[in-house]
């Protein structure tokens, strides 16, 4: 396990400036503020850092969109909504090293020309929110936030806002609507936030982990930073592991390691005497990868070539006692509940998928239902307005690809895992 971005977590008092500085803290900010914004931007671009919030968009390129906008008011938003089920890595950074995230925001503000930042934190993290408010307060009192920070001719301040539990508010435009005090619903794009975001001003939205990488890049220099990871995926990634493994938790890995190595070497293998059945990668909106493909490397391009995405870096490991249908029902109930209802493919699609899965589980479905299931997934993937609806059927699509026989067995009232709702005799309301 490497320790590039999480090395201070759990090691220092997160509110102590002295402890943070004695571990190299704020040296990156001072370095950045003494450089021209374009130089900082070039360093981040050269690092090949890609966003850790799910889409893996090149961070330097995104920054350059906001930097090139001619506007006296711009914003930086730290996306700390961490709503993807099974994802709990941003919290580790926020609780363990909040100054590091704030440094990332200040450096970003300087590079793109923004003087105001927001941290949007999920409502389910009240203690972390409190810690962030205290961190900002401590830094303001020290002159590290506010006007002429660190004695440089640069102003930057941060406000904390929180969500109220809607998954869609992690999507950057819904998040922006939420900060503006509106219902958390996604906007039509374009324009994209780097050009017109919060209150229609150029707005840079980055994930917590992305921002945590910024001081590291400034301190090491882009070239040294790129020695970590692979050609297409520089640096490290925080992986949140849950499910049937011995050691569950957050691991910082270097890109290039395989899913199997994570399970065997970092998680100490399975917590039962059963075999891995599948790994769902990227949270509930991610694909289920069967055991025979676990040698896939964690690398953005390598994963894409295999038709999967790393997403937020969540890994749910299921052993072969898990019924895929049972699992899919739980996943799709989540999306049915979280769909904001703005567009038809997602609003109706999730509902229909749940209805068909229930039919299959109850043993009253036909082969035609499985065909319809496939059609609905395709429509949602291509026609939904935002990433929620586009990614919601991913788990179903992957299970239809790898576990179709097992799904179809339920039509004949059979469950090879002997564990699904049908076998428990559950009464299901459609």
- With contact defined as beta carbons under 8 Å apart, do 330 and 289 qualify? no
Closest separation in Å from C-beta 424 to ligand FMN: 31
Of the two residues 29 and 173, which places its CB atom closer to ligand FMN in the complex?
173
- The dihedrals phi and psi of 427, each to the nearest 5 degrees, come to -95, 120
Of the two residues 96 and 282, which places its CB atom closer to ligand FMN in the complex?
282
Q: Which of 52, 62, 201, 342 is close enough to bind ligand SF4 by CB under 6 A?
A: 342
Of the two residues 186 and 361, which places its CB atom closer to ligand SF4 in the complex?
186
**What burial class does residue 376 get, using C-beta atoms within 10 Å of its C-beta: 0-12 exposed, 13-18 middle, 19+ buried?**
buried
Contact call for residue 186 and ligand SF4 (CB under 6 A) = yes
Q: Which of residues 46-65 bind ligand FMN (CB under 6 A)?
A: 51-55, 57, 62
Q: Which of 170, 243, 286, 311 is close enough to bind ligand FMN by CB under 6 A?
A: 170
Q: Which of residues 323-362 bind ligand FMN (CB under 6 A)?
A: none
Residue 79, binding choice from ligand FMN, ligand SF4, none, Cβ under 5 to 8 Å by partner class = ligand FMN
Q: Which of residues 369-388 bind ligand SF4 (CB under 6 A)?
A: 384-386, 388
Q: How many residues bind ligand SF4 (CB under 6 A)?
A: 14
Of the two residues 186 and 206, which places its CB atom closer to ligand SF4 in the complex?
186
Of the two residues 154 and 192, which places its CB atom closer to ligand FMN in the complex?
192
- With contact defined as beta carbons under 8 Å apart, do 324 and 407 qualify? yes
Of the two residues 50 and 185, which places its CB atom closer to ligand SF4 in the complex?
185
Closest separation in Å from C-beta 385 to ligand SF4: 4
Contact call for residue 117 and ligand FMN (CB under 6 A) = no
Of the two residues 92 and 340, which places its CB atom closer to ligand SF4 in the complex?
340
Closest CA to 214 of 141, 110, 138, 139: 110
Of the two residues 116 and 336, which places its CB atom closer to ligand SF4 in the complex?
336
Q: Which of 6, 64, 207, 230 is close enough to bind ligand FMN by CB under 6 A?
A: 207
What character string, x for contact with ligand SF4 (CB under 6 A) and - otherwise, covers 134-173? ----------------------------------x-----
Q: Which of 28, 149, 346, 395 is close enough to bind ligand SF4 by CB under 6 A?
A: 346
Q: Which of 81, 252, 319, 406 is close enough to bind ligand FMN by CB under 6 A?
A: 81
Binding site for ligand SF4 (CB under 6 A): 168, 186, 339-343, 346-347, 384-386, 388-389
Binding site for ligand FMN (CB under 6 A): 51-55, 57, 62, 79, 81-84, 167-168, 170-172, 205-207, 210, 386-388
């Amino acid at each position: 396990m490497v320790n590039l971005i999480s090395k201070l977590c759990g090691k220092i008092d997160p509110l102590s400036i002295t402890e943070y500085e004695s571990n190299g803290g704020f040296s990156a900010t001072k370095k950045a503020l003494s450089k021209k914004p374009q130089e900082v931007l070039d360093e981040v671009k050269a690092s090949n850092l890609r966003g850790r919030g799910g889409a893996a968009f090149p961070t330097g390129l995104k920054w350059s969109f906001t930097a090139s906008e001619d506007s006296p008011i711009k914003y930086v938003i730290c996306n700390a909504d961490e709503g993807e089920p099974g994802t709990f890595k941003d919290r580790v950074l926020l609780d363990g090293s909040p100054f590091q995230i704030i440094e990332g925001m200040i450096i970003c503000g300087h590079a793109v020309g923004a003087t105001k930042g927001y941290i949007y934190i999920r409502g389910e993290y009240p203690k972390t929110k409190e810690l962030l408010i205290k961190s900002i307060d401590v830094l303001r009192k020290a002159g590290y936030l506010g006007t002429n920070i660190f004695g440089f001719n640069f102003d930057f301040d941060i406000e904390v806002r929180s969500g109220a539990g809607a998954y869609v508010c992690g999507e950057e435009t819904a998040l922006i609507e939420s900060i503006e005090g509106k219902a958390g619903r996604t906007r039509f794009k374009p324009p994209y936030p780097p050009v017109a975001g919060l209150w229609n001003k150029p707005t840079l939205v980055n994930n917590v982990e992305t921002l945590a990488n910024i001081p590291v890049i400034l301190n090491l220099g882009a070239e040294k930073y790129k020695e970590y990871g692979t050609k297409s995926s520089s640096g490290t990634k925080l992986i949140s592991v849950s499910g049937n493994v011995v050691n569950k938790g957050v691991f910082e890995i270097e890109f290039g390691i395989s899913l199997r190595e994570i399970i065997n070497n970092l998680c100490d293998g399975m917590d039962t005497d059963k075999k891995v059945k599948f790994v769902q990668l990227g949270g509930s909106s991610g694909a289920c990868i069967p055991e025979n493909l676990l040698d896939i490397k964690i690398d953005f391009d390598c994963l894409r070539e295999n038709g999967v995405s790393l997403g937020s870096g969540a890994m749910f490991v299921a052993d072969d006692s898990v019924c895929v249908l049972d699992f899919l029902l739980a996943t799709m109930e989540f999306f049915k509940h979280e769909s904001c209802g703005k567009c038809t493919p997602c609003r109706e699609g999730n509902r229909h998928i749940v209805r068909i899965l229930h039919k299959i589980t109850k043993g009253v479905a036909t082969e035609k239902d499985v065909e319809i299931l496939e059609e609905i997934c395709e429509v949602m993937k291509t026609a939904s307005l935002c990433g929620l609806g586009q990614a919601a059927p991913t788990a179903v699509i992957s299970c239809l690809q790898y576990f179709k026989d097992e799904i179809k067995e339920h039509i004949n009232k059979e469950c090879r895992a002997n564990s699904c709702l049908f076998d428990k005799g559950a009464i299901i309301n459609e």
